[in-house]
Amino acid sequence: MPKRQYLKNNDKKNICLVGFMGSGKTTVGKLLSKSLKFEFVDTDEKIEKENFMKIKDIFEDFGESFFRDLETKKIIELAKNKNQILSIGGGAFCFERNIKVLKENCLVFYINIPFDEIVSRLSKRQLNKRPLFHDLEKAEELFNKRQFYYQQADFILNASAKTSREIKKEIKNILIKL
């Protein structure tokens, strides 16, 4: 049977996964990348490698707005490519400048999971390496504020109580029907 070519007849040539910190973008993205034979690209990972620094240290040493500029530059650069699964940091889709580029070049999926469920799944170590997750009350406020932006995704997946494989399957089913 000939292999299916995803997004072949679509103007948008990439898939972008958005969602709050810890919503499983990386895990789902890697599964999807294998399944679709698209390259998996994580913007945070690229930023860390290219700057020889962990995100947490970039925040601490240079501040959040410096990080946001690096993030936007990376998104603009990557969005030009094709056949990628782009996993972006939880705050990236909350800036109009990023939303515009991403929506022009990617089909955007929001992995929607309730805040409490995210917290219960994350280990202490995972919470620690995310500077905006150090204070749970503030993180929940951020989560609520960000819903306005996340809702602008092309597809909103109700991912509550679902496994990463199930979410991957849902995305694939949507893509098949396009």
Q: What residues numbered 38-67 form the site for ligand S3P, per CB under 6 A?
A: 44, 55
Binding marks (x or -) toward ligand S3P, 16..35, rule CB under 6 A? -----x--------------
Name, in order, each residue with C-beta under 8 angstroms of 130's C-beta and a sequence gap of 6 or more.
21, 22, 55, 56
Tokens for 18, please give them.
């958005």
- Burial tier of 115 (Cβ tally within 10 Å: 0-12, 13-18, 19+): middle
Residue number of the CB atom closest to ligand S3P? 89
Binding residue (CB under 6 A) for ligand S3P from 122, 131, 154, 155 = 131
Q: Which is nearer to ligand S3P, 4 or 50 (CB)?
A: 50
CB 79 within 8 A of CB 86: yes
Of the listed pieces 32-40, 96-104, 105-113, 129-137, which binds ligand S3P according to CB under 6 A?
A: 129-137
**Residue 121 to residue 117: CA distance in whole angstroms:** 6
Q: With CB under 6 A, what is the number of residues at the site for ligand S3P?
A: 9
**Residue 129 to residue 168: CA distance in whole angstroms:** 25
**Binding to ligand S3P by residue 114, rule CB under 6 A?**
no
Interacting residues with ligand S3P (CB under 6 A): 21, 44, 55, 89-91, 130-132
